[in-house]
């Protein structure tokens, strides 16, 4: 083997792996290395967290004394990691830096994507700290160094509030590429970019391309939120089974595996002939027939999708209805919320989850609603939350609940809300609004103040908590300031003590504020459990929430 780096240091210097915030918010991955197509070069991220402030929490374990866990964690307006990109030539073990362009590198910045075009050409995507400006830098290996002569200024294409760093997909000429950008109407669509020219729009319409699956010399294959004129690869499949689709292609796109969900989850391998315009199903990998047989004798809930008018927008909702649902009766309602920027709760995926149990066994209607701030419906909806988290997405959940009550089959005296993470934050903000709509609610691992959350996520949507930027909206978006309004609702607060994402500090601050206002509430903490509450805690938390909800709704 060949050792490439020697300067790594725990919690300070990272080579080839992301620190906490890059893993969570930037790369969405545990690795930070990228091999060139032929294996001659290895690119790797370098992160210097020396000046990044630490979060510390106790890990209790079984020892006589708890351990203290220390993690570099940049919060809003604090020092962020220094990032660099290095490339090692594997035959000579010579390492050189791909230098960030001055227009980005002169101040705090992030590196988002690394794409090898050829063995000696690399494309790197950088953004400024505010993440409202991005560039794609194309570099060639010349005389043992990286010459970065081409820079695509993504601000020219930016007509939205924050920049979405979708990766570039290069064509066969290794010069031009396709990229998802917002069009002039604020919908995410594919653009063709080539040096010295304005981006050329490839797809269009009031729908969005979600991601580019594959680019070949003959075709561009995408997943989107609506059918359009280009040839649809899933339109002629089993429609009831295939309402939510994804695909994974072989290297030359001759074959692909399609996963789809509808009534049940379904997976198949297909032969793809783009030039002749046909797609042949070769083999079904998984059809879930066994599950289908098991569920035939069980009273299952039905899932209904629809839309309602809120704030001038036609927005989607989803309801999980009890078996033998009778619209002339009154049912308790639980709102299942997330509502973070670019999120989506309403879709056609097959699920067996807590909502399935509540609807089928406890006869509770479980509803979700994608309000302002949600994704895949255009920038006007998604960017409504820019610099004002805790406003419209909270208001819209309350409005949706009122509209559900007006449908006639909801018991208005038995309405609850629950959510996890951002959903826990929205749940808490809704309950603290004093709307009078909700009897109770459950918040799992909620944010209480955005100053306590990480800089990459928070500043992308809120700017910085300083007077010259957006301090006022930070101060108006806290759960703790609404503590007095919790006297009129039943509240269950849940958190893991070893949550490295939304720290236990957040729940502790909510608890302190409620106690200061003499609010009676329930709480459950999970010792040494992180944000996901895995292991034995996962079963326990759903049993505990079920008991709380049944008590709230006066169910035996």
Do the Cβ atoms of 474 and 481 come closer than 8 Å? Answer: no
Q: Catalytic one among 36, 374, 421, 435?
A: 421
319 phi and psi angles, rounded to 5 deg: -125, 135
Q: Write out the E strands in 338-384.
A: 365-369
- The pLDDT of residue 355 is 98
Examine the pLDDT at 159 and tell me if it is beyond 60.
Answer: no
Question: Is 499 one of the catalytic residues?
Answer: yes
What is the predicted pLDDT for the residue at 541? 99
Band (259; pLDDT cuts 50, 70, 90): confident
**Tens of pLDDT along 320-350?**
999 999 999 999 999 999 999 999 999 988 8
Domains 1-165 and 299-552 share a fold: no
User: Residues near 318 by Cβ (< 8 Å), separated by ≥ 6?
Assistant: 303, 304, 305, 345, 346, 347, 367, 368, 369
Domain boundaries, the chain: 1-165, 231-297, 299-552
Mean per-residue pLDDT of the chain: 92
pLDDT over 70 (residue 234) = no
* 254 pLDDT tier (thresholds 50, 70, 90): confident
How much of the chain exceeds pLDDT 90, in percent?
A: 78
Q: Of the given ranges (62-76, 230-244, 345-359, 518-532), which has the lowest mean pLDDT?
A: 230-244
d(CA 72, CA 69): 10
Quote the distance between the C-alpha of residue 8 and its chain's center.
Answer: 30
Q: Which fold has domain 299-552?
A: Rossmann fold (3.40.50)
Provide the percentage of residues in the chain whose pLDDT is more than 70.
91
Residue 518 pLDDT > 80? yes
**Is 324 part of the annotated catalytic residue set?**
no
Structure token pair of residue 487: 């006297």
Catalytically annotated residue among 183, 454, 499, 528: 499
Q: Is the pLDDT of residue 531 over 50?
A: yes
Known catalytic residue at 370: no
Instruction: Please write down the HEC assignment for all residues of 140-165.
Output: EEECCEEEEEEEEEHHHHCCCCCCCC
Query: What's the helix, strand, coil split of the chain in %, to 5?
Result: 20, 35, 45
**pLDDT at residue 270 is higher than 90:** no
Q: What is the pTM of this model?
A: 0.93
- Please state which of the four CATH numbers 2.30.30.220, 3.40.50.740, 2.70.50.60, 2.140.10.30 is assigned to the domain occupying 1-165: 2.140.10.30
What are the pLDDT digits (tens) for 34-83? 999 999 999 999 999 999 999 999 999 999 999 999 999 999 999 999 99
CA proximity to 184, closest of 165, 156, 162, 210: 156
**Can you list the positions of beta strands (E) in 345-409?**
365-369
Give the up-direction half-sphere exposure of residue 346: CA atoms within 13 A in the CB hemisphere. 22
Q: Has residue 156 got a pLDDT over 50?
A: no
Cβ pair 144, 108 in contact under 8 A = no
At residue 413 the predicted structure's pLDDT band, cuts being 50, 70 and 90, is very high
Q: Which run of H or of E encompasses 402?
A: helix 392-406
- Non-local (6+) Cβ contacts of 330 within 8 A are 409, 410, 411
Give the tokens for residue 292. 């289908």
- 302-310, strands of its sheet edge to edge: 302-310, 313-321, 365-369, 331-337, 410-420, 440-444, 490-496, 522-526
Q: Residue 256: pLDDT band by 50, 70, 90 thresholds?
A: confident
């Amino acid at each position: 083997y060949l050792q490439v780096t020697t300067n790594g240091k725990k919690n300070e210097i990272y080579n080839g792996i992301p620190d906490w915030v890059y893993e969570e918010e930037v790369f969405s991955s545990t690795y930070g290395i990228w091999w060139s197509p032929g294996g001659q070069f290895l690119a790797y991220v370098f992160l210097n967290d020396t000046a990044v402030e630490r979060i510390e929490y106790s890990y209790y374990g079984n020892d006589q004394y708890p351990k203290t866990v220390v993690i570099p964690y940049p919060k809003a307006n604090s020092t962020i990691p220094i990032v660099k990109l290095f490339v090692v030539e594997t035959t000579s073990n010579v390492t050189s830096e791909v230098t960030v362009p001055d227009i980005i590198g002169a101040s705090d910045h992030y590196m988002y994507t690394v794409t090898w075009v050829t063995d000696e050409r690399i494309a790197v995507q950088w953004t400024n700290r505010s993440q409202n400006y991005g560039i794609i830098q194309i570099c060639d290996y010349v005389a043992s160094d990286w010459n970065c002569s081409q820079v695509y200024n993504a601000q020219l294409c930016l007509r939205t509030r924050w920049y979405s760093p979708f990766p570039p997909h290069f064509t066969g000429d290794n010069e031009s590429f396709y990229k998802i950008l917002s069009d002039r109407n604020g919908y995410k669509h594919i653009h063709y970019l080539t040096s010295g020219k304005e981006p050329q729009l490839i797809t269009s319409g009031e729908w969005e391309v979600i991601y580019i699956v594959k680019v070949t010399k003959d075709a561009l294959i995408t997943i989107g939120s609506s059918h359009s004129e280009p040839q649809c690869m899933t339109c002629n499949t089993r429609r009831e089974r295939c309402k939510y689709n994804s695909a994974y292609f072989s290297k030359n796109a001759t074959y692909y595996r399609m996963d789809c969900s509808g009534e049940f989850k379904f997976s198949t391998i297909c032969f793809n002939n783009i030039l002749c315009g046909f797609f042949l199903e070769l083999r079904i990998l998984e059809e879930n027939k066994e599950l289908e047989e098991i569920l035939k004798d069980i009273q299952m809930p039905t899932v209904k999708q629809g839309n309602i008018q809120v704030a001038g927008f036609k927005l989607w909702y989803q309801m999980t209805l009890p078996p033998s649902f009778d619209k002339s009766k009154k049912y308790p309602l639980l709102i299942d919320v997330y509502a973070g920027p670019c999120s989506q709760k309403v879709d056609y995926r097959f699920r067996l989850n807590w909502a399935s149990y509540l609807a089928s066994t406890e006869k509770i209607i479980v509803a979700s609603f994608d309000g302002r701030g949600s994704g895949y419906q255009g920038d006007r909806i998604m960017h409504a939350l820019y610099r004002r988290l805790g406003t419209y997405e909270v208001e819209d959940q309350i409005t949706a609940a009122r509209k559900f009550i007006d449908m006639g089959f909801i018991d208005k005296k038995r309405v609850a809300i629950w959510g996890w993470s951002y959903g826990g934050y929205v749940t808490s903000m809704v309950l603290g609004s004093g709307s009078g709509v909700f009897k109770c609610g459950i918040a799992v691992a909620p944010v209480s103040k955005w100053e306590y959350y990480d800089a990459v996520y928070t500043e992308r949507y809120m700017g910085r908590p300083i007077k010259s930027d957006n301090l006022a909206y930070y101060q108006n978006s806290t759960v703790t300031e609404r503590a007095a309004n919790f006297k009129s609702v039943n509240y269950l607060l849940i958190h893991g003590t070893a949550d490295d994402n939304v720290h236990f500090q957040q729940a502790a601050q909510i608890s302190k504020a409620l106690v200061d206002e003499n609010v009676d509430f329930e709480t459950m903490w999970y010792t040494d459990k992180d944000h996901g509450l895995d292991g034995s805690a996962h079963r326990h938390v759903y049993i505990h929430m079920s008991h709380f909800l049944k008590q709230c709704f006066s169910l035996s």
